[in-house]
Amino acid sequence: MSLSARSRRLAAAAVAVSAVAGMCLTVPAQAQAASALNYVAMGDSYSAGSGVLPLDLSAPLECARSAVNYPHDLASRLGLDLTDVTCGGAKTQDYAGSQYPGVAPQLDALNDSTDLVTMTIGGNDSNTFIDAVLACGSAGVVTLGFGHPCQSIYGDSFDNTIDTTTYQSLDATLAAVKAKAPNARVAIVGYPWIVPAQAVPGCFAKMPIASGDIPYLRDLEAHLNAAVQRAAADNGVTYVDMSAVSNGHDACEPSGTRWIEPILFGTNYVPVHPNATGESAMANQIATTLGLG
């Protein structure tokens, strides 16, 4: 065999080996891309991470969506293909309707190819929980932190609204999500504790709520989460329970321990919302509950 012929054969063999090697390198990458779960994140400010910087610049500014909210955290650690439509201030009505001009209804992000859906929703409905926190804060300032003025004024009114309005809205909303994404695994996340079970020393300076109203607000949040859990069960949706894991991480705890920032002297520009650690903790609990990663 001549030198040139041998060179040609060696060159051809090298090309063949390179081609096979290239296939070995590219096929797994293509398979990996094809296997990435199509993940849609929905919900309100607890899902959006409102108040935690940096902002997600691809989101409408009105939504105050964080680039490190729990959907981004979850998608990053698990390699999910994320569509994030979370938006601060969202109510269940914003799933089927536009929350702000130019912002599409959240349900529009779902389709038959959606594999996973997560959300935190219900706390803004009828302004119940937000109104309760604000009302109790105002009443607490007036009484200098003594007594239970908020409970005396409002009694069962907030709880009644959860039973007569919020639950029904959650039930209808989860049914709509299941209808729009029939092949998806759907999870709704409960709200982490905002206040402790009882008043603790030093809390009033950060959360100006009367000592007797701390358990009142705690019970109200437990009632809201129970409504979320009930709606989830009635619609075959996974409920992600934050109550046990968030114990001892409420807004009355010091910085570095708390997952929720207080009304005063907090680090978030939106108070009474999860900080970056809280958002990460919610991602952890979702992954654990769903058995992902």
DSSP state of 191: P
CA pair distance 56, 84, nearest whole angstrom? 10
In sequence order, the 6+-apart residues with CB closer than 8 A to the CB of 72 are 49, 56, 66, 82, 84
Q: Which structure tokens are listed for 55?
A: 């902002």
262: left (phi over 0), alpha (psi -120 to 50) or beta: beta
The widest CA-to-CA distance across the chain, in whole angstroms, is 103
Q: Which structure tokens are listed for 128?
A: 């119940």
Q: Is residue 2 flagged as an active site residue?
A: no
206: Cα separation from own chain's centroid: 24
DSSP state of 133: H
Query: Side chain identity at 146, as an amino acid letter?
Result: F
| Catalytic one of 47, 50, 273, 280 | 273
**Which residue has tokens 């009635």?**
234
Q: Is residue 98 flagged as an active site residue?
A: no
CA-wise closest residue to 92 among 64, 118, 124:
124
CA pair distance 85, 249, nearest whole angstrom? 27
Query: Side chain identity at 252, as an amino acid letter?
Result: C
Please report, for residues 45, 98, 173, 184, 217, the alpha-carbon distance to residue 101 in angstroms, rounded to integers and kept in the order given.
Answer: 18, 7, 21, 28, 34
In sequence order, the 6+-apart residues with CB closer than 8 A to the CB of 4 are none
CA pair distance 41, 84, nearest whole angstrom? 5
| Catalytic one of 45, 50, 66, 246 | 45
Instruction: Name the 3-class secondary structure at 287.
Output: helix
What residues are labeled active site?
A: 45, 273
